[in-house]
Amino acid sequence: MKIRCIAIDDEPLALKQIGAYIAKTPFLETIALCSSAFEALHFIREGDIDLLFVDINMPDLNGLDFVKSLERKIPVIFTTAYSEYAIEGFQVDAMDYLLKPISYALFLKSANKAKSWYDANNKPAELLQAATEYIFVKAEHRLIRIFLADIKYIEGSNEYIIIHQIKEKPLTTLMRMKNIEAMLPDNLFMRVHRSFIVNLNQVRVIERNRIIFDEKIYIPIGEQYKENFQKFLDKTFYI
């Protein structure tokens, strides 16, 4: 699974270079190239972002203050032309610090450091077994088998997920959304929002870019997931 990246830099040439480096690195994926921190906020709220490349010296909101303001801690590699920011950069737990002009060799060294951290922190330890018809998850200090057909939808909540079932009570387990998404069959389950995965067999009503399970449950379809969901509808829609 690739590391999903956002690069932020108000200098067009520098942003283009970081974008080219990300594209050149097999285990990285570009989600957005942003010219300001404010532009990046939209993508961070909509998507599950793994890594930020952030220029420090930007107008309106500099990179350091931007990273400090984020609700969820995201690994960051700072990029800047000013070496005096290095110490302050590491004070906000930056994964690395790249001084411009940045060679691909130095970029790759930082990217490999990010990959080592990512691999160590994204092992699906709580998803102990996945089979064609069921999964085992750890919840309430027990291992519990859940049949896939019994799952209505899955909700992400920080570092936890909540598995909502058709008849049984919801189960909460320590796991990231991308980990369980990778284990579920994509012909039965689809991520429709950064915080929701739905069982496609349970989708009954769609209204105003929302999936309505009942009068109390409205699941939004996120902007970056609309295209895939529309493809599912196109295959199953008949006039």
Question: Does 238 have pLDDT greater than 70?
Answer: no
At 6-18, the pLDDT tens digits run: 999 999 999 999 9
Distances (CA, A) of 231 to 197, 206, 228, 236: 16, 14, 5, 9
Listed in sequence order, the DSSP H helices in the chain are: 12-24, 37-46, 63-69, 86-91, 104-121, 177-183, 226-236
Q: Do residues 82 and 137 share a domain?
A: no
Q: Which of 104, 121, 138 is a domain's end point? A: 121
In this prediction, residues 177-195 reach a mean pLDDT of 89
Q: Give the count of domains, the chain.
A: 2
Q: Do residues 148 and 114 share a domain?
A: no
Q: Which of 131, 104, 155, 120 is nearest to 50 (CA)?
A: 120
Q: Do residues 25 and 117 share a domain?
A: yes
- Cα Dmax for the chain: 64
CATH of the domain at 28: 3.40.50.2300
Element (H, E) at 99: strand 96-99
Q: Do residues 24 and 85 share a domain?
A: yes
At 109-140, the pLDDT tens digits run: 999 999 988 887 765 544 444 446 888 888 87
Question: Does 239 have pLDDT greater than 50?
Answer: no
Q: Do residues 9 and 101 share a domain?
A: yes
CATH of the domain at 206: 2.40.50.1020
Question: Does 91 have pLDDT greater than 70?
Answer: no
Query: What range does the domain containing 199 cover?
Result: 127-236
Q: Do residues 208 and 175 share a domain?
A: yes
Token pair belonging to 161: 């997920």
pLDDT of residue 125: 43
82 or 97, higher pLDDT: 97
pLDDT of residue 126: 44
pLDDT of residue 7: 96
In this prediction, residues 59-64 reach a mean pLDDT of 81
Mean pLDDT score across all residues of the chain: 85
pLDDT of residue 62: 80
pLDDT of residue 127: 44
87 or 95, higher pLDDT: 95
At 17-36, the pLDDT tens digits run: 999 999 999 999 999 999 99
Burial of 214 (0-12, 13-18, 19+ CB in 10 A): exposed
Burial of 74 (0-12, 13-18, 19+ CB in 10 A): middle
Instruction: Kindly state the percentage of the chain with pLDDT values over 90.
Output: 38
Q: Do residues 81 and 7 share a domain?
A: yes
Distance CA 20, CA 229 (A): 29
Question: In terms of pTM, does the model score above 0.75?
Answer: no
Q: Do residues 101 and 182 share a domain?
A: no
Order the strands of the 189-193 sheet from edge to edge: 171-174, 160-165, 151-157, 196-199, 189-193
Residues facing residue 53 across a β-bridge: 7, 77
In this prediction, residues 96-105 reach a mean pLDDT of 91
CA of residue 105 relative to chain centroid, distance: 26
Question: Does 54 have pLDDT greater than 90?
Answer: yes
Q: Do residues 7 and 78 share a domain?
A: yes
